[in-house]
C-alpha cells in the first residue's frame, strides 16, 4: 500500500528494536522444516517489503521468499484466473457512469451534464466495487440513484473488467498458491485487507507477535498503556520553520553516521509539507526518495493543454491566451521558424493594437492585411510577423476546438488533441507523456459516452492528474512520504511532522452519495485505525522518533495547539498530564521538547537536538553575517554586498548609486542630447528616479486593455483633444467662426472612430460616454464663442515642434539656459493643442480634462514654473514664439469638461517671466547632467511605474535624502515635495 492509495491502507510491523527481526526469525524457523518450500510474507507497504528483503539478504538470503503487500497478493492470485478480463480502471468506470447518465440521468438530471457529477458518482461506484453487489441498501433517493448507476455501469463493464470484490473473492479461493504464509501486517485498513485477514485467521495464520496493531492504544484512549509515542518533540513558528528544523535534525543524524536509508520523514497531508520538505532537503543537499510535488497535470504541457481546452473559442480572451503562452509549453513561430517571445506579443496586443478578445482578433487580422503605412501607429514589420504568428495560433486553437465539438468518437478526440500537441507544443518529455495519456482516450469508445467539451476537459484532467512521478531512487537516501508509508518500515530514525490539531488527525469527510459505513468502517472505527497507523509509523523508528508541529501559520494566520495524538508523547516526556490549551507551561524545561522560536533563532542558536552545523549554504552565510553585526564581509558574494549597501543607503538616506546618484557615469545620460518635451521635464520634477527609469532606461508598465471597465482619464482626454482638434481644423479649412453643428459633427465622427479602434469589449462603454460628452462640449462651445467675440482667432492646432514627422519639416526649437557648466542649449519638442492670434500677438492653449490645481500650485508672473516643477505653459510659449516669429502674450490651460469646471488658468508671458523660466530650467538641466536622480514617488507619466515599485517606500527614502547634500542646497530640488501633488500634466500623449 503506497501513499497514493487509500489513506487507511496498510497497517503493520512491530515496535521491536528492529522491525524485521521477528519476521526473519520466523522465516528461518520455516526454512528449517522445509528448505525448498515457497514462503510468502505479507507486509504493509513497498518500503516495508524493501526493508525486509534487505534484512533477509544480510541474514542468509531471500531465495524462495516472496515479500508482497496485500494488493500484490490479490493481484497475483486473481489476475491469471480472471483473464482475459482485467481490473476496471477508474477512467473507464467514469465513462460507463457517464454513459448511464446520458441514457437516464434520473434524480441527477439537473447536474448530469457537469463533469464533476460523473467523477463523483464514479468514485462512489469504485468504492461499491469493493463489496458484494446488492449488499448495500439505500437510505435515501440519492443513494438509490447512485446504486442504480453503479449496477448499470457494472452491467456495461462486467464482461471485460472485474471489480476489486471479484478479485479478492477469487484470490481467497487460491490462497494455497502462496505456500506457507508469514503475516507481518495487521490487515485492518481496507475492505480487501480485512477480508484477507479473516481468511488467513481461518487458516490459523495470525500476525507475527509484535507486528500487529491489536495491542496498540485506541483513539478513544490515546494515552493507553499500549500507546507508541515519540522520543523527542519539536515545535516551530510555522510549517516552513518546522520543516527546516527537521532537516537540521536529519542532517545531524547523518553526521552521526546513520545511513540515509535508515531515516524517514512523514507527513499527515502533502499540503504544504511535501513541497516544503522537497525544497528544504534540496537546499541542504540531502538525497531523498518519495512522491513528487507535481503530477503530469501540473506540468507546463499538461496545465497548458487543459487551459486551452477550457478557453472560449469565440471570445478567445487575450489575457488568458498569452498567459498560457507564457507557461512556456506552447511555442509560437513566425514564418521564418523563429520563436516569437511573449514580450513581443504583449507589446503588440497591449500597445500597438489593444486586444481584449472576440472581434479584436478580426481587427488585428484587418490591420495585418492592410499593407498601407499609417504614420505614428507604431505597427512595424516585426509587429506584423508577430501578429501573423499569433493569429495562426488563434486559428489553430479555434479549429481544434471546433473539431472537438464535432468529433463522433473518442478516438477522433485523441487524434485531434495529439495533432494540437504536435503542432503548437514544444517537444519536451512532458509533452510526450501528455500525448501518451491523451492517446488512452480511445479506450472510452468501449462505452462511448456523449462527447462534450466539458467531458473532454474532465477526461484529460483525470488522466493527467493520476500520473505522478517519484523523486529520487527507491531505497536511496532519506525516505519521504505520507504517514502510511512508514508503517512496517525498519528504520533507525522516524520524523513525523504536522502533528497539530487541525492537521492531524486528517478530517474525514463522509461520502454523501453512499450510506455511512456501508462500504467502509464507521467514522469512529476509521479514526481508531488512523491512530493505530500513526503508532505503527512511530514504532518503525528503532532508536529515535521525532514528533513536530507548527505553533501557527505565517500564511493563514492564527495559532495551533498540539494534536490530541501528540499529547501522550508530551505527557510521557514531561512526566505529567499535558493539556492541549496549557501545553507550553507543561513542557517548559523539558529537555526532550525543543522549541524553535523563530527562523533567525533556528539558524543562529540551534538547539542541541538539531546539531551545531548549518544545514544549508544560506544558513552558513547568515551565521557569518550575524557574526559581523549583519554587515557583509569582503569574502561575501558580490550581489550580497551590493544588497547590503543598498539597504543601508536607503535606510540612512545616503545619496549613492543605490538611491539615485549616477554621477560616476553621467556621461552615459544622453537624454538631453535630443529634443525633450516640457512634460518630460515635469516628470523629473515629480520624481527624478521615475524619470530615470522611464525616460533614460525606457522602462514602462504596459496597460492591460481589459483592466479598466470604464474609459480611463487618459483615453477620455485623448478623445476630447481629437474632437476639438478636428473642430478647429474644420473651421480653419472652411474659414468660418464658431459653429455648433460643426462641433457636433466632429464629436460624432471622432467617437465613431474611437469605437472602431477600441478593444471590442469596451466599445459599449465608449458609446455610453458619448451623450455626456456632447453636453460638456456644448458648454465648452459657449466659452469658445465668447473667446471669438473677444477677438481671438485660431491659427493652428496640434502645432508640433522638435520631432521628425514623415514628409513634414521639423521645427527646431533651441532654448538657452545656464548651468554650472556654463551656457547650454536645450532642444524642445512637443505639440501645442491650439494657437490663437489677436492684435499681432499669439496665445498658447493646452486643453485639459482633469481637475484644476489649487491656487498655490498655479503658475504666476512671480513664479511661472511653480518652484521649478511646471514648465509646460512657458516653454510652449517659447516654442510658439520661436517657430512663428510672433510674440506670445499669453499661455493658458483650458479645462474643457465638467470635472475641471471649464476653468482657464492663464500665464502672462514677458521677458521677466522667461528669464525666471530659463533659470529654473537651467537648474533642472544641471541636475540631470550631473546624474542626480534621487528616489521619490510621484505621478506624471510614470505613475503606473510608481505604483508597481511602491510609491510610499520611495517617498520615505526621499524624506531621508532631501535633507542631505547635495539635494538640500541645489535649487533644482527646492520645489519637489514629498507628497503627491495635483497633476496638471497633459492627459494625452504629447
Rounded average pLDDT over 452-470:
91
- Res. 17 pLDDT band, cuts 50 70 90: very low
Percentage of the chain surpassing pLDDT 90?
A: 64
DSSP designation for 333:
B
Per-residue pLDDT at 702: 81
More confident residue, 254 or 556: 254
- Res. 761 pLDDT band, cuts 50 70 90: low
Crossing angle of helices 191-202 and 70-82, in 10° steps, is: 90
Per-residue pLDDT at 8: 30
Distances (CA, A) of 950 to 207, 690, 787: 65, 11, 44
Asked whether 452 and 113 are in contact (CB, 8 A), the reply is yes
List of E strands, 1-55? 39-43
List of E strands, 281-344? 288-295
pLDDT tens, position by position, 816-856: 998 888 899 999 999 999 999 999 899 999 999 889 998 88
pLDDT tens, position by position, 215-272: 888 888 999 888 999 999 999 999 999 999 999 999 999 999 999 999 999 999 999 9
- Whether residues 302 and 450 fall in one domain: yes
Question: Count of alpha carbons within 13 Å of 336, Cβ hemisphere only?
Answer: 7
Q: Is the pLDDT of residue 15 over 70?
A: no
- Whether residues 347 and 403 fall in one domain: yes
Virtual CA dihedral for 233, 234, 238, 241, nearest 10 degrees?
Answer: -150
Give residues with Cβ within 8 angstroms of 454, minimum separation 6: 113, 114, 115
Classify the C-alpha dihedral 426-429-434-437 as positive or negative.
positive
- Listed range (54-58, 693-697, 923-927) with the worst mean pLDDT: 54-58
Q: Is the pLDDT of residue 140 over 90?
A: yes
- Whether residues 485 and 445 fall in one domain: no
Per-residue pLDDT at 763: 60
Per-residue pLDDT at 21: 75
- Whether residues 511 and 535 fall in one domain: yes
Per-residue pLDDT at 507: 83
Among residues 909, 759, 778, the alpha carbon closest in space to that of 316 is found at 759
Per-residue pLDDT at 987: 35
Give residues with Cβ within 8 angstroms of 103, minimum separation 6: 152
Per-residue pLDDT at 117: 92
Query: What is the rounded CA–CA span in Å between residue 883 and residue 876?
Result: 10
Rounded average pLDDT over 138-149:
94
Rounded average pLDDT over 341-364:
89
- Decide if 7 is inside a domain: no
Per-residue pLDDT at 74: 96
- Whether residues 393 and 532 fall in one domain: no
- Whether residues 102 and 75 fall in one domain: no
Residue at which a domain ends, from 579, 610, 641: 610
Give residues with Cβ within 8 angstroms of 599, minimum separation 6: 237, 240, 241, 244
Q: Which residue has the cell 448495500?
A: 136
Residue at which a domain ends, from 470, 501, 531: 470
Residue at which a domain ends, from 585, 610, 635: 610
- Res. 680 pLDDT band, cuts 50 70 90: very high
- Decide if 645 is inside a domain: no
- Res. 941 pLDDT band, cuts 50 70 90: low
Per-residue pLDDT at 32: 84
Helix (H) or strand (E) holding 949: helix 943-949
Asked whether 820 and 827 are in contact (CB, 8 A), the reply is no
- Decide if 954 is inside a domain: no
Classify the C-alpha dihedral 179-183-185-189 as positive or negative.
positive
Q: Is the pLDDT of residue 784 over 90?
A: yes
Per-residue pLDDT at 187: 79
- Res. 977 pLDDT band, cuts 50 70 90: low
- Decide if 944 is inside a domain: no
Per-residue pLDDT at 215: 84
Rounded average pLDDT over 754-767:
66
Domain of residue 329 covers: 298-369+380-470
Query: What is the rounded CA–CA span in Å between residue 22 and residue 926?
Result: 88
Domain tally, the chain = 5
- Whether residues 56 and 125 fall in one domain: no
- Listed range (342-356, 402-416, 423-437) with the worst mean pLDDT: 342-356
User: Residue 65 pairs with which residues in a beta bridge?
Assistant: 39
Query: What is the rounded CA–CA span in Å between residue 873 and residue 867?
Result: 14
Asked whether 460 and 441 are in contact (CB, 8 A), the reply is yes
- Res. 345 pLDDT band, cuts 50 70 90: very high
- Whether residues 418 and 489 fall in one domain: no
Q: Which residue has the cell 479602434?
A: 757
Per-residue pLDDT at 555: 67
DSSP designation for 175:
G
- Res. 509 pLDDT band, cuts 50 70 90: confident
Rounded average pLDDT over 265-282:
95
- Decide if 949 is inside a domain: no
Rounded average pLDDT over 654-679:
93
Rounded average pLDDT over 488-504:
95
- Decide if 839 is inside a domain: yes
Residue 527, domain CATH: 3.40.50.300
Per-residue pLDDT at 158: 93
- Whether residues 785 and 894 fall in one domain: yes
- Decide if 660 is inside a domain: no
Give residues with Cβ within 8 angstroms of 460, minimum separation 6: 305, 306, 309, 417, 437, 438, 441
Query: Please, what is the average pLDDT of the chain?
Result: 88
- Res. 877 pLDDT band, cuts 50 70 90: very high
pLDDT tens, position by position, 906-916: 999 999 999 99
Residue 904, domain CATH: 3.90.320.10
Per-residue pLDDT at 94: 93
- Whether residues 688 and 805 fall in one domain: yes
Asked whether 792 and 807 are in contact (CB, 8 A), the reply is no
Asked whether 153 and 103 are in contact (CB, 8 A), the reply is no
Q: Is the pLDDT of residue 695 over 80?
A: yes
pLDDT tens, position by position, 147-195: 999 999 999 999 999 999 999 999 999 999 999 999 998 777 788 999 9
- Res. 806 pLDDT band, cuts 50 70 90: low
pTM, to two decimals: 0.81
Question: Count of alpha carbons within 13 Å of 307, Cβ hemisphere only?
Answer: 21
Number of CB atoms found within 10 A of residue 122's CB: 22
Give residues with Cβ within 8 angstroms of 909, minimum separation 6: 874, 877, 881, 887, 888, 889, 890, 891
- Whether residues 351 and 462 fall in one domain: yes
Q: Is the pLDDT of residue 371 over 70?
A: no
Per-residue pLDDT at 988: 37
- Decide if 443 is inside a domain: yes
Q: Is the pLDDT of residue 10 over 70?
A: no
Which residue blocks in 761-820 are alpha helix, DSSP H? 763-789
What is residue 166's three-state secondary structure? Answer: helix
Question: Count of alpha carbons within 13 Å of 760, Cβ hemisphere only?
Answer: 16
Q: Is the pLDDT of residue 766 over 90?
A: no
Q: Is the pLDDT of residue 131 over 90?
A: yes
Q: Are strands 491-496 and 541-550 parallel, antiparallel or unpaired?
A: parallel
- Whether residues 875 and 897 fall in one domain: yes
Q: How far apart are the first and last CA of the chain?
A: 70
Amino acid at each position: 500500500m503506497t501513499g497514493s492509495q487509500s489513506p487507511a491502507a496498510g497497517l503493520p510491523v512491530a515496535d521491536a528494536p528492529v522491525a524485521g527481526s521477528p519476521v526473519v526469525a520466523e522465516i528461518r524457523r520455516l526454512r528449517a522444516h522445509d528448505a525448498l518450500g515457497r514462503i510468502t510474507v505479507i507486509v504493509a507497504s513497498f518500503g516495508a517489503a524493501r526493508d525486509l528483503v534487505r534484512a533477509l539478504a544480510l541474514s542468509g538470503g531471500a531465495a524462495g521468499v516472496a515479500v508482497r503487500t496485500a494488493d500484490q497478493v490479490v493481484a497475483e492470485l486473481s489476475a491469471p484466473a480472471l483473464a482475459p478480463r482485467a481490473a476496471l480502471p477508474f477512467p473507464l468506470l467514469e465513462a460507463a457512469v457517464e454513459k448511464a447518465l446520458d441514457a437516464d440521468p434520473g434524480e441527477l438530471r439537473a447536474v448530469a451534464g457537469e463533469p464533476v457529477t460523473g467523477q463523483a458518482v464514479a468514485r462512489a461506484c469504485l468504492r461499491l466495487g469493493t463489496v458484494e453487489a446488492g449488499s448495500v441498501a439505500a437510505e435515501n433517493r440519492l443513494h438509490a440513484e447512485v446504486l442504480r448507476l453503479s449496477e448499470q455501469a457494472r452491467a456495461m463493464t462486467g464482461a471485460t473488467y472485474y471489480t476489486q470484490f471479484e478479485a479478492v473473492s477469487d484470490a481467497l479461493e487460491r490462497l494455497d498458491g502462496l505456500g506457507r504464509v508469514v503475516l507481518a501486517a495487521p490487515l485492518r485498513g481496507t475492505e480487501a485487507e480485512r477480508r484477507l485477514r479473516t481468511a488467513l485467521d481461518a487458516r490459523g495464520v495470525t500476525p507475527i507477535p509484535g507486528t500487529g496493531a491489536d495491542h496498540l492504544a485506541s483513539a478513544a484512549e490515546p494515552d493507553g498503556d499500549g500507546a507508541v509515542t515519540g522520543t523527542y518533540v519539536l515545535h516551530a513558528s510555522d510549517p516552513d520553520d518546522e520543516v527546516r528544523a527537521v532537516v537540521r535534525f536529519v542532517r545531524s543524524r547523518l553526521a552521526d553516521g546513520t545511513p540515509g536509508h535508515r531515516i524517514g520523514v512523514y507527513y499527515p497531508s502533502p499540503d504544504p509539507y511535501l513541497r516544503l520538505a522537497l525544497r528544504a532537503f534540496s537546499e541542504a543537499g540531502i538525497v531523498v526518495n518519495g512522491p513528487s510535488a507535481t503530477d503530469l497535470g501540473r506540468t507546463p504541457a499538461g496545465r497548458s493543454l487543459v487551459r486551452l481546452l477550457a478557453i472560449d473559442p469565440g471570445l478567445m480572451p487575450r489575457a488568458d491566451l498569452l498567459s498560457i503562452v507564457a507557461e512556456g509549453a506552447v511555442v509560437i513561430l513566425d514564418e521564418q521558424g523563429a520563436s516569437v517571445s511573449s514580450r513581443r506579443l504583449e507589446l503588440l496586443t497591449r500597445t500597438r493594437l489593444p486586444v481584449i478578445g472576440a472581434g479584436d482578433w478580426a481587427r488585428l487580422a484587418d490591420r495585418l492585411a492592410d499593407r498601407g503605412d499609417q504614420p505614428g501607429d507604431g505597427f512595424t514589420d516585426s509587429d506584423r510577423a508577430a501578429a501573423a504568428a499569433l493569429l495562426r495560433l488563434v486559428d489553430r486553437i479555434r479549429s481544434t476546438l471546433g473539431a472537438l465539438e464535432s468529433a463522433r468518437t473518442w478516438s477522433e478526440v485523441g487524434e485531434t488533441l495529439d495533432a494540437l500537441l504536435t503542432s503548437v507544443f514544444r517537444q519536451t518529455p512532458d509533452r510526450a507523456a501528455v500525448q501518451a495519456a491523451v492517446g488512452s482516450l480511445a479506450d472510452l469508445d468501449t462505452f462511448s459516452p456523449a462527447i462534450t467539451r466539458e467531458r473532454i476537459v474532465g477526461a484529460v484532467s483525470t488522466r493527467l492528474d493520476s500520473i505522478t512521478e517519484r523523486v529520487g531512487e527507491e531505497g536511496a537516501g532519506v525516505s519521504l512520504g505520507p504517514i502510511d508509508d512508514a508503517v512496517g518500515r525498519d528504520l533507525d530514525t522516524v520524523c513525523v511532522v504536522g502533528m497539530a490539531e487541525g492537521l492531524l488527525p486528517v478530517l474525514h469527510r463522509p461520502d454523501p452519495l453512499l450510506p455511512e459505513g456501508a462500504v467502509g468502517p464507521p467514522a469512529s472505527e476509521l479514526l481508531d485505525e488512523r491512530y493505530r497507523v500513526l503508532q505503527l509509523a512511530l514504532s518503525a523508528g528503532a532508536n529515535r522518533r521525532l514528533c513536530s508541529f507548527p505553533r501557527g501559520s505565517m500564511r493563514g494566520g492564527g495559532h495551533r495547539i498540539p494534536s490530541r495524538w501528540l499529547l501522550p508523547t508530551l505527557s510521557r516526556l514531561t512526566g505529567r498530564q499535558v493539556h492541549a490549551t496549557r501545553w507550553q507551561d507543561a513542557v517548559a524545561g523539558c529537555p526532550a521538547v525543543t522549541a524553535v522560536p523563530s527562523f533567525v533563532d533556528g539558524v543562529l542558536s540551534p538547539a542541541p537536538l538539531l546539531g551545531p552545523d548549518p544545514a544549508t549554504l544560506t544558513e552558513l552565510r547568515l551565521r557569518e553575517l550575524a557574526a559581523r553585526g549583519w554587515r557583509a564581509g569582503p569574502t561575501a558574494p558580490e550581489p550580497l554586498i551590493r544588497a547590503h549597501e543598498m539597504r543601508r543607503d536607503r535606510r540612512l538616506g545616503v545619496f549613492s548609486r543605490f538611491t539615485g546618484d549616477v554621477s560616476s557615469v553621467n556621461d552615459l545620460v544622453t537624454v538631453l542630447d535630443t529634443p525633450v518635451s516640457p512634460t518630460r521635464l515635469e516628470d523629473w520634477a515629480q520624481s527624478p528616479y521615475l524619470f530615470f527609469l522611464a525616460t533614460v532606461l525606457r522602462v514602462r508598465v504596459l496597460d492591460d486593455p481589459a483592466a479598466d471597465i470604464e474609459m480611463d482619464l487618459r483615453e477620455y482626454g485623448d478623445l476630447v483633444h481629437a474632437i476639438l482638434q478636428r473642430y478647429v481644423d474644420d473651421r480653419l479649412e472652411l474659414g468660418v467662426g464658431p459653429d455648433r453643428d460643426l462641433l457636433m459633427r466632429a464629436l460624432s465622427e471622432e467617437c465613431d472612430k474611437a469605437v472602431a479602434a477600441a478593444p471590442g469589449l469596451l466599445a459599449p462603454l465608449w458609446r455610453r460616454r458619448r451623450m455626456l460628452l456632447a453636453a460638456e462640449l456644448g458648454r465648452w462651445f459657449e466659452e469658445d464663442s465668447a473667446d471669438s467675440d473677444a477677438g481671438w482667432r485660431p491659427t493652428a492646432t496640434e502645432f508640433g515642434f522638435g520631432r521628425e514627422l514623415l514628409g513634414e519639416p521639423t521645427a527646431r526649437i533651441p532654448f538657452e539656459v545656464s548651468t554650472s557648466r556654463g551656457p547650454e542649449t536645450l532642444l524642445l519638442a512637443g505639440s501645442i493643442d491650439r494657437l490663437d492670434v489677436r492684435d499681432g500677438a499669439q496665445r498658447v492653449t493646452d486643453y485639459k480634462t482633469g481637475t484644476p490645481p489649487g491656487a498655490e500650485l498655479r503658475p504666476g508672473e512671480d513664479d511661472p514654473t511653480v518652484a521649478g516643477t511646471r514648465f509646460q505653459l512657458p516653454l510652449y510659449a517659447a516654442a510658439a514664439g520661436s517657430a512663428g516669429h510672433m510674440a506670445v502674450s499669453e499661455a493658458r490651460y483650458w479645462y474643457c469638461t465638467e470635472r475641471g469646471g471649464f476653468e482657464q488658468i492663464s500665464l502672462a508671458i514677458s521677458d521677466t517671466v522667461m528669464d525666471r523660466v530659463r533659470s529654473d530650467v537651467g537648474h533642472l538641466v544641471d541636475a540631470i547632467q550631473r546624474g542626480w536622480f534621487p528616489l521619490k514617488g510621484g505621478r506624471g507619466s510614470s505613475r503606473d511605474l510608481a505604483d508597481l515599485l511602491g510609491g510610499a517606500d520611495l517617498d520615505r527614502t526621499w524624506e531621508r535624502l532631501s535633507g542631505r547634500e547635495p539635494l538640500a542646497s541645489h535649487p533644482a530640488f527646492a520645489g519637489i515635495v514629498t507628497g503627491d501633488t495635483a497633476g496638471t500634466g497633459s492627459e494625452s500623449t504629447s
